[in-house]
């Protein structure tokens, strides 16, 4: 889970841009504060994350907040690389 670079809490929502098809799951995520609809116009400064605790917004590539492409966790906290290294090492044996 992402941590807010401003307050350090993990009460984070992701911005969703474009015109998503509203369904029950998306409605629940919006109601729970997990998703914020960001509109249709995306610029370089458009935020990717929003802290529900302190209302801080930050962009996609904030240092230390990059997401693992496999598990979605913050790269500095995920352990996917460990299993990948183990798999590679086992294939070499």
| Of 77 and 4, more confident | 4
CB 55 within 8 A of CB 49: no
Class of residue 31 by CB neighbours under 10 A (exposed 0-12, middle 13-18, buried 19+): exposed
pTM, two decimal places? 0.62
| CA 37/CA 19 separation, integer angstroms | 9
Nearest residue to 15 (alpha-carbon basis) of 46, 54, 53: 46
Most confident of 18-22, 26-30, 79-83: 26-30
**Model confidence over 29-86: pLDDT tens digits?**
999 999 999 988 878 788 999 999 999 998 865 544 556 666 766 655 566 666 655 6
What pLDDT sits at residue 14?
92
CB 38 within 8 A of CB 16: yes
What pLDDT sits at residue 93?
62
DSSP state of 6: T
């Amino acid at each position: 889970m992402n941590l807010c670079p401003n307050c350090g809490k993990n009460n984070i929502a992701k911005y969703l841009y474009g015109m998503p098809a509203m369904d029950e799951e998306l409605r629940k995520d919006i109601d729970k504060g997990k998703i914020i609809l960001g509109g249709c116009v995306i610029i370089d400064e458009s935020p990717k994350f929003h802290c529900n605790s302190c209302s801080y917004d930050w962009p996609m590539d904030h240092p230390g907040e990059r997401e693992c492409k496999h598990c979605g966790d913050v790269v500095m906290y995920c352990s996917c690389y460990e299993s990948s290294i183990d798999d590679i090492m086992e294939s070499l044996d």
